[in-house]
Structures are given as structure tokens and as C-alpha cells.
Structure 1
Amino acid sequence: MRTTQAQRRFSSGLAAVSGLLVSCHSAFAAGIGQPEPWQMGRQVGVTENARDIHSFEVGLHWLSLVISVFVLGLILWCIFRFNEKTNPTPSKTTHNTMIEVAWTIVPVLILVAVAIPSFRLLRTQLADPKADVIVKVIGHAWYWSYEYPQTDKGGGFTFDANLDESKEPKLLATDNEMVVPVNKVVKVQVTSADVIHSWGMPSLGFTTDAVPGRLNQTWFKADREGTYHGQCRELCGTRHAYMPITVRVVSEEAYAQWLAEGKTKFARLDDGSKLADAR
């Protein structure tokens, strides 16, 4: 009887611990397109670049952990091996060629190992693939404007995107959304009309400064439909915290329909060509 009760208690305790671990995992899990309460990691990447950044970051964390544990082990070994009680007669050694060579070469090799994937990421981010869609993003105090150039598929209009406090997620939704097709190279040209802003999208894996008088350019290729949220990432004034970004990734058919609707929904540009040329 006692054994049965003990087993039941153990099973109940194990179930409670398992439930706690599951709840903690779900609480700390990264969100898709938006942050989650108690989130500990990055948002789920929907571009290859975002996933590569996450993998690189995780690798650096493990490397840092290994180095930290190794250094801690050396410190503890020195404390217990060379204290006065264990080693009453201290060594008078001042040089050790092998150790000096090792602690010079090993850090260099570690830096090279870190630099290779880092440079590969930078090369991908700075690559200039042929664009399927071009969108110009303009930062204002404190909202964003989006310009779609005139193409054979439509476009030729501009619209503003302001914070919409009636929508969810709170302080991240906008009244109008930047819409792009899935699995297409989207080139984003970013600038500002007043002060420095920063157009950042965690799930897409990039942040680009919006600088007055300068046209910065980046690109992404989302491989998953959905709505993704970001914010201005440059302290730009009193309402900096109220400059959300919403990007909706849709199918090609839905994108074509949205372009057609945009001609009547949004004011048209002068000639539909107010963007810098991009390949």
C-alpha cells in the first residue's frame, strides 16, 4: 500500500514537473511574426538570412560557453593545485614557450573560425539579386510611408502606415500594411523625411537605417505567408515607441489583387516612377 502511494506521489510529481517544463518552454518560445510573453530567443525566421543569423548566434553562444567553462576550470585548477597548503614550495618558472605559443595561436584560430561565417552572412546581406518587387520606405516623425513604383503588374501608388491601437498585437499593428508576394526577392529602399529612423523586421532578419538625404537598400525573400511585425529601432523622438511596421506576405495571386485594389484605395504617384533604379 505504501509502495503504491509512493509511486502515485512520484508519478504526480513527475507530471507536475513535466507540465512546468512544457509551460516554461511555451512561455520562452520565440514567436512567429511578433514577440511572445517571456520570449527568450529570436522570432522564428521566415527568410534564409534570418535563419542563418539565428544559427550563427546560437553557435557563438555555445562557443562562449565552452571558453568560459575552460577558463573557469583553469582558475579552479590553479586555486587547488597551487595554493600554499598543497604547494608550499612555489615554482619560479617565468616562461613556457609551448603555453605562450598556444595562447597566442588558439585565440587567432577562434577568431578566424568566427570570421568565416560572419563574412558569409555579410556577403549574403550585401548581395544584389535581381528584384521581383521594389518598395520604397520613408520614415516620418512618427509613421512610415510606402511607395510602389508603376510596373506591368500594377503599382504606382503611395500610402502611409500609422499605429492602429484598436488592432492586435498591441502597439505593433498599423492601419495599412506593406504587402509583398511569397518566395519573391523584395528590394527595399529606405530613407527618411526628417530625422534618422530605422526599419527593422526581426522575422525577416534585417534592420536598415532611414537617413535623411540618403537611400539605403536591402532585400529579403520570405518563404512563408503571414503577417510580420517590427518597429523603428532608432531613438527618433517622443513617439519613437509608436512607429510599428507591418509586412504581410501573401501568395502571388493575392498580391496581384492587392495591387489592383491599391490603384483606387491609395493616392497615385505623379508618374509612378519616384524610386531609384534597382536591378
Structure 2
Amino acid sequence: MNQHTLAIAEVIPSTEEPFVAAMEVIESVEVDYDQIGGLEEQIQELQEAVELPLIDPERFVRIGIEPPKGVLLYGLPGTGKTLLAKAVAHRTNATFIRVVGSELVQKYIGDGSKLVREIFEMARKKAPSIIFIDELDSIAARRLNETTGADREVQRTLMQLLAEMDGFDKRKNIRIIAATNRPDVLDPAILRPGRFDRLVHVPMPGVEARGKILKIHCDGMTLAGEIDFKKLAKATEGMSGADLKAIATEAGMFAIRKDKELVEMGDFLEAVAKVSVAADTQKMMPGIPPETTMFV
């Protein structure tokens, strides 16, 4: 304003926090449902709760119900939770905003809450949009009576997140997906209906699913003849999708080490043995959470 006449001289544009703007995934997410093996039921749940409200909202209007407000994916590490969120973003052509829960834990009082407000504000401006919160347990752990200053700041951020989730006008063009490895430590307030209406368990792959996942990861590889994926699937009991991807990569590395033209079955068996040792070592390390079951 003009300091003498108090007349408006110029309208100052609203500024966006660069840290928040960087959370938007500009590049097209090149992951589709056919690149995800063994999670057909989970894909259907996401399609109904996230994809349909964005691309065909008339179905819900016709039936007279509101779509689920948020979806929580929970399961052990490496089972495909983040991959599912990327596939949904690819299908809907929505603005994909990815934020890791630990990024919302800030040093100064009020900074975390401000980030949450600006993330949701950006989602409103760029609707239709999908907010994907990875590692939700880092900011939404169960609140305790005895807390330190740092814990209280995390709780303030959680309260702001809850307020933003409640404050949407039915969030017609904004969907929220969250992922966690530890559903047992989440605060009950964030799990109640009206915030995360749909809880989707992403399990460890079974034998049939492991075969599909291995085929997907080997699709672009130069293989020698017929690879017995059924035998490999049986030999990889207890391994996650991430472990299976590592097996495909290691098999290729063994072929490169031996200067082969093709990847053979023997290379895959060596890769299974190597990754199995690494997986067993990780399970014995302290701090690795046990598999948790959530009853909903």
C-alpha cells in the first residue's frame, strides 16, 4: 500500500514453500498395474477408493454414497505399497504429491504444521491430485501422556494433519493414500472412519505371486531358453517383491561377471542363494520389526 494515501499500489502474489513444491512428482510415473504381480485384490481396492472417484465420480452420485476418503496400505517392507500408489497416479493422470512422513518433522515449533497446511493447499490448487504419505508411522504414532518437547512438536503436526483431513469438503478431487510398515503403533484417531476409511493389507507374495513377480522383473532380460520360474518361486519362500527384484538383478550380474551372452537358470539359482543369505542376515539384525497383524 502507498504509505501516504493508503491506496493499494500492488498485489503481492502468494509465495509457495520451495520444499513443498519439490514434493510434486512432475515426471510421469511409468508404473502400471500389469507391472505389479500377485496383488489383484489390493489393486481392485485402490481402483474403487481412489481411481473411480477421480475419473468416474458419477457412479457414486448415481448410487448416492460418498467414496472412501483415504486409503491406508500396510504390510511388511518391500511388498509393493509404494508401487501401488505410483500405479494409481499413472492411471488417473492426477497431480501426484509424494511426501515421506519424516520430512514433516521439523526443527522449529510450528514448521511441521505449516508444511502440512501448504501440502494440502497445493493439492487443492492442482486438483485432481493424490497425496501419498509414506512412512505414516513417523508422524502418526500413538500419543502418550509423558512426552518431550520433540514429541509434542510431532503431535502438533499430527493434529494439523487430522484437521486437514477433516476440513475437506468431501475432497471430491483430492485423494489421500498412506503407507506404513507398523500399523500397530498408529494413533487410533487417524484410523477412525472418516479419515482412512479403507485399510488395505499388502501381504508377502505367495508361491504363485512370486512366479509372476519374477517374470515381470525378467521381462527385459536376455534369457537362455526356458527359465523354470515355478522352481524359482518355490525356492524363494518368505521373500518379498523387493527381494525378487534383487534376485533378477543379481542373476544378471552373475552372467555379466562370467561374460555370458544370456542369463541361465544356474545364474538365477546362485542369485537366490546370495539374496537368501542377505535376507536372513537382515532378519537377525536388531531393530527390525516383526510381522504385525491388524484386525479391522
- Same structural fold, with TM-score higher than 0.5 when normalized by the shorter chain: no
Specify the structure having the higher radius of gyration (Cα). 1
**Higher-strand-fraction structure:** 1
Output the TM-score relative to the length of structure 1.
0.25
Output the TM-score relative to the length of structure 2.
0.24
